[in-house]
Amino acid sequence: MQSFWNERYAQEAYVYGESPNEWLRECMNGLHAGKILFPAEGEGRNAVYAAQCGWEVEAFDYSESGKIKADLLARKNGVQIHYKVADANEVHYPDGSLDAIAFIFTHFPSTLRRQLFPDWIKWLKPEGSIIFECFSVSQLDYQKDHQSGGPKDAHLLYSLDTIRDE
Ligand SMILES: C[S@@+](CC[C@H](N)C(=O)[O-])C[C@H]1O[C@@H](n2cnc3c(N)ncnc32)[C@H](O)[C@@H]1O
Dihedrals φ, ψ of 114, to 5°?
-65, -35
Mutate which of 9, 18, 62 for ligand 1? The one with the most ligand atoms within 8 Å of its CB, which is 62
Order of strands across the sheet that contains 56-61: 82-85, 56-61, 35-39, 98-104, 124-133
Instruction: Find, among 83, 128, 82, the residue nearest to 102 by Cα.
Output: 128
Report whether pLDDT(145) > 90: no
Top-confidence residue, 47 or 1? 47
Taking residues 65-74, what's their average pLDDT?
Answer: 98
Query: Which residues have C-beta atoms less than 6 Å from ligand 1?
Result: 5, 16, 21, 40-42, 45-46, 61-63, 66, 87-88, 104-105, 108
Report whether pLDDT(1) > 90: no
Mutate which of 27, 37, 61, 90 for ligand 1? The one with the most ligand atoms within 8 Å of its CB, which is 61
> Which pLDDT value is given to residue 142?
87
Confidence of residue 13 (pLDDT cuts 50, 70, 90): very high
Taking residues 71-93, what's their average pLDDT?
Answer: 98
What is the rounded distance in angstroms from the CA atom of residue 74 to the CA atom of residue 163?
Answer: 31
pTM for this structure?
A: 0.96
Superfamily of domain 2-134: Vaccinia Virus protein VP39 (3.40.50.150)
Counting residues of the chain whose pLDDT is more than 70, the rounded percentage is: 100
> Which pLDDT value is given to residue 144?
87
- Reported as a single tens digit per residue, the pLDDT across 108-142 is 999 999 999 999 999 999 999 999 999 999 999 88
> Which pLDDT value is given to residue 3?
92
> Which pLDDT value is given to residue 147?
85
Closest ligand 1 atom to Cα of 42: 27
Report whether pLDDT(7) > 90: yes
Confidence of residue 50 (pLDDT cuts 50, 70, 90): very high
Report whether pLDDT(59) > 90: yes
Q: Chain-wide mean pLDDT for the chain? A: 96
